[in-house]
Structure 1
Amino acid sequence: MVSSAPIVWLLDSDPALRWQVERDLLGEPAAVWQATRARIATEGFGARLLALQDPDGQWAGGAFFPADFDFHGPEAAEGAGQPWTATTWTLNSLREWGLRSTVLRERRTAELLAENSRWEYENLPYWGGEVDCCINAWTVANGQWLGADITGIVDWFLEHRLPDGGWNCEWVEGSTRSSFHSTLNSLKGLLAHEFATGGTEATRAARCSGEEYLLRRGLFRRLSTGEPVAPWVDQFAYPFRWSYTVLNAAEYFRQAALLDGTPPDPRMADAIELIRAARQPDGTWLQARPHPGRVWFEVDAPAGEPSKWLTLFGTRVLNWWDSQA
């Protein structure tokens, strides 16, 4: 059963979004949504990003930051927001939108990045990852998608899991407590690896411990007090980028349940109600303030207006939850 959602409005969208509406909200035959998905490479958002790829396989000349980024200039000032145009962010978008990996494999993207792209951190090779959990998680997901060897980074996650079960990008600064943001992004990388390979007993155990970290906290509460961990937990904005919200987390758990063949965990109930409470009377979700920073082009509504992407995610999550009730 499809929850109340403005389907005609959602269908009037870029192929990157439309195919997911057809598959996940309308239950269209595979031939229908697959045909729409194939259009990502030749029109709309996907085609625009593909046209911006550099001859060396990168985007904007850099791994995580554009080649022209001034780490001491106004763009690096607090509150300015980092640029979202470099290679990792662009690959994240194309992968999450559903571009077929064959498009980039035919361009030898993985090989070109191995030859030409280095992390801004200590000039490390691209497919070897670096020290940031979130960056490494995206590299696992993107590398798995493109056929690169990311085995070493998967092993890195096993070695850098914290005693409370999750991860924190600030481990390099001595942090021993997990972060909601870092843990969710790490889980996404491990899940992508497991979808593609089946994983190992060790990676499945690591994913389970990370999920427990979030579930024990109801996806948004402090374990110590039961209070919300921060006001950002229900401030939904697309693209999600690196940030944690209960909608971003619930979408992860929906995907994990599809892989595991399990029902939703009842400990998510309060988080689901935060998502439900944000739905407008017309069935849409409003865009909060998107992350500031340079982009190639806008892919969603301005702040305060109905967001097609958030409406897709919100409707899909509630359908999943309500169908298991």
Structure 2
Amino acid sequence: METNQNIRLAIEESIQFLESTSHLGMTHGECSRRKWDGAWWHMAALYEMGEVKLIPESAITGAKYLLETQVWPTFIISTDDHPTNESDKMKMDCCHCELAVYYMILMAYGCDLDKELPWIREWLLKHQLPDGGLNCDPEAYIHSKKSSIVSTLPPLEAILWHTDREFTEQEAVFLDEGARYLIEHRLVCSKQNRSVIDMEWLKPCFPRFFEYDILRGMSFLVEWSRRRNKTLPVKLLIEGLERLNIFRETEGLRIGRQVFDPQGPWGGQSFPLLEAVSGIGDVSPYLTRQLDRVIERLGPEYTYA
């Protein structure tokens, strides 16, 4: 009960922050982007908690304004992609992860970005690499042609979770190729030697923002199989459940790491809501719901105890 009360109070603080600060669209996104206590992170945390409707409308309006007027709508790979006039040079250059998370927040809120800002979906769809994933490092598009699992998931989720119609042929290929990429990497493994790429990915993380963990990949594959009517990679999902076993309790799934860990590569200032829902060792109702959906999709014959 105390934890729930703490979260409720922290939500109120985030709402007040989003209502009261000129955090979006005022200084070329600097305050919005500031790790980890800028507006972007407050909004993304509420979205991941399933509380996107609590975001003040003024913040949603500000986020749309930022995307519309202060983001350079091209992923800069070659010299030809750079803005040329002084006004455009002042705009934010986004990566796939950042753009996809913004897109998911606004679409979940009820905005029609495919009508208002159609370039965002087009951006996500056009930057798939031959291996099926994406990479926020422009060099990958010039040299290695290899994707990053971290860069891949937010764009895939944006298209999968926020398309309320039949997928176009391009979208279907995008999702199917993304699923192939995850399956070939066994969610967390190198294709070359089958070793785990990053052991941190085996630890459930909440909220994730752009970060990856194995449950995030499993959740995508489960929903992809359902929406695309594709064969569920059962053995891979059971393997994933086994990897998560040490974090499972009777009451749910425990958090294994924090993306903003002060001792980690992304350490920085946080905010009360982020602290309230991300305690290492705490059972997360949000991650538990994701896990339960995976188990439910596997069906009674595959229930993993």
TM-score (norm 2): 0.72
Is the alpha carbon distance of 1:68 and 1:260 closer, same or farther for their aligned partners in structure 2, counting shifts above 3 Å? Answer: closer
Superposed counterparts of 1:144-163, under 5 Å? 144-145=107-108, 146-148=111-113, 149-163=116-130
Find the residue that maps to 2:270 and give its secondary structure.
Answer: coil
Q: Which position in structure 2 is the counterpart of 1:189?
A: 158
Verify: 1:278 aligned to 2:253, yes or no.
Answer: no
Shift of 1:94: 2.3
Gaps of 5+ in 2: 77-88, 261-267
Superposed counterparts of 1:136-285, under 5 Å? 136-145=99-108, 146-148=111-113, 149-172=116-139, 174=142, 175-194=144-163, 196-260=164-228, 264-266=232-234, 267-280=236-249, 282-285=250-253
Q: Are the counterparts in 2 of residues 166 and 213 from structure 1 also a CA contact under 8 Å?
A: yes
Superposed counterparts of 1:1-325, under 5 Å? 13=4, 44-54=9-19, 58=23, 65-66=30-31, 83-99=35-51, 101=53, 107-115=57-65, 118-119=70-71, 122-124=89-91, 130-145=93-108, 146-148=111-113, 149-172=116-139, 174=142, 175-194=144-163, 196-260=164-228, 264-266=232-234, 267-280=236-249, 282-292=250-260, 293-297=268-272, 298-300=275-277, 302-323=279-300, 325=302
Deviation string, structure 1 residues 189-243 (Cα, Å, up to 9, x no partner): 112332x344422122111111110012221221111221221221222112222
RMSD of aligned Cα (Å): 3.5
Shift of 1:144: 2.3
Gaps of 5+ in 1: 1-8, 17-42, 70-82
Shift of 1:177: 0.4
Shift of 1:60: 10
Is the alpha carbon distance of 1:308 and 1:157 closer, same or farther for their aligned partners in structure 2, counting shifts above 3 Å? Answer: closer
Question: Which is further off, 136-145 or 216-225?
Answer: 136-145
Q: Are the counterparts in 2 of residues 110 and 143 from structure 1 also a CA contact under 8 Å?
A: yes
Q: Are the counterparts in 2 of residues 275 and 314 from structure 1 also a CA contact under 8 Å?
A: no
Question: Which is further off, 175-184 or 45-54?
Answer: 45-54
Shift of 1:180: 0.9
Q: Are the counterparts in 2 of residues 62 and 86 from structure 1 also a CA contact under 8 Å?
A: no
Shift of 1:163: 1.4
Q: Measure, in 2, the Cα distance between the counterparts of 1:323 and 1:278.
A: 21
Shift of 1:15: 11
Find the residue that maps to 1:285 and give its secondary structure.
Answer: strand
Amino acid paired to 1:50: I
Is the alpha carbon distance of 1:264 and 1:277 closer, same or farther for their aligned partners in structure 2, counting shifts above 3 Å? Answer: farther
Q: Are the counterparts in 2 of residues 63 and 88 from structure 1 also a CA contact under 8 Å?
A: no
Shift of 1:160: 1.4
Find the residue that maps to 1:178 and give its secondary structure.
Answer: coil
What number of residue pairs does the alignment pair up?
269
Q: Measure, in 1, the Cα distance between the counterparts of 2:5 and 2:180.
A: 36
Identity %: 17
